[in-house]
């Protein structure tokens, strides 16, 4: 049976959201991979560029406007949450000639703040975004969501990536408190399943879309723990 992982053309092609042929993405890749000589080195450099070069914000903008999820838009904004940062990393990888796909899962954050839990109505974050890259003949998972500065501020282990092993959320924080738990796989996609994500968010997090006028910096949209 054919798998999405078998279609390398799709894993390298520009799409509506993974706009890997855009000048901004190409410039970003050239700048961040200067000196890298192998696909693994380029993948590692791009992972850290997305992880630390784009500030983590649970909601970098109020609303779910379609064009806000495009990779080059996240790059221009300089901030994003896990889905947006994963789309950017996938675009950067494709621009560097590395096949890349988007993978999604629901995660339970055991360290969610009470304020965020009340705001969201749950401690489960649907459609957490990861990137799968084809490196040295195998698909490797990585999540560039939490930047190092945020991790240091809140006692969360930073996710490191060597291009050889999966880099996913840690089960425990630096104090050995339970942190992230993967509770549901959503699948692997060649482009962002925008309609499915928006439908889930509007159903599962109705409070987040009734708060008119909130911004990413407001207390209703905490930076940490999501």
Tens-level pLDDT at each residue, the chain (226 residues): 789 999 999 999 999 999 999 999 999 999 999 999 999 999 999 999 999 999 998 755 556 889 999 999 999 999 999 999 999 999 999 999 999 999 999 998 766 667 777 777 788 889 999 999 999 999 999 999 999 998 888 888 889 999 999 998 776 666 776 678 889 999 999 999 999 999 999 888 887 766 433 333 332 333 333 4
CA angle 36/25/56 to nearest 5° reads 90
Assigned token pair, 195: 């309609």
User: Domains in the chain and their CATH numbers?
Assistant: 4-209 (3.10.620.30)
H-only helix segments in 18-141: 23-32, 39-53, 71-77, 82-95, 114-120
pTM of this structure: 0.88
């Amino acid at each position: 049976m054919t798998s999405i992982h078998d279609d390398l053309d799709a894993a390298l092609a520009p799409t509506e959201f993974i706009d890997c042929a855009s000048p901004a993405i190409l410039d970003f890749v050239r700048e961040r991979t200067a000196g890298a000589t192998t696909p693994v080195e380029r993948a590692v450099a791009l992972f850290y560029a997305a992880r630390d070069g784009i500030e983590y914000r649970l909601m970098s903008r109020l609303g779910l406007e379609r064009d806000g999820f495009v990779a080059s838009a996240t790059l221009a904004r300089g901030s994003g949450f896990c889905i947006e940062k994963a789309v950017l990393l996938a675009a950067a990888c494709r621009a560097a000639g590395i096949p890349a796909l988007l993978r999604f899962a629901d995660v339970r954050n055991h360290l969610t703040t009470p304020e965020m839990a009340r705001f969201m109505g749950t401690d489960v974050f649907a459609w957490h975004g990861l990137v799968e890259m084809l490196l040295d003949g195998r698909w490797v998972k990585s999540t560039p969501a939490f930047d190092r500065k945020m991790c240091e501020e809140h006692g969360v282990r930073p996710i490191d990536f060597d291009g050889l092993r999966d880099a996913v959320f840690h089960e425990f924080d630096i104090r050995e408190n339970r942190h992230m738990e993967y509770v549901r796989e959503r699948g692997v996609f060649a482009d962002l399943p925008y309609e499915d994500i928006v439908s889930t968010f509007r159903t599962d997090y109705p409070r987040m879309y009734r708060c008119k006028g909130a911004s990413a910096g407001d207390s209703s949209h905490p930076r940490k723990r999501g």
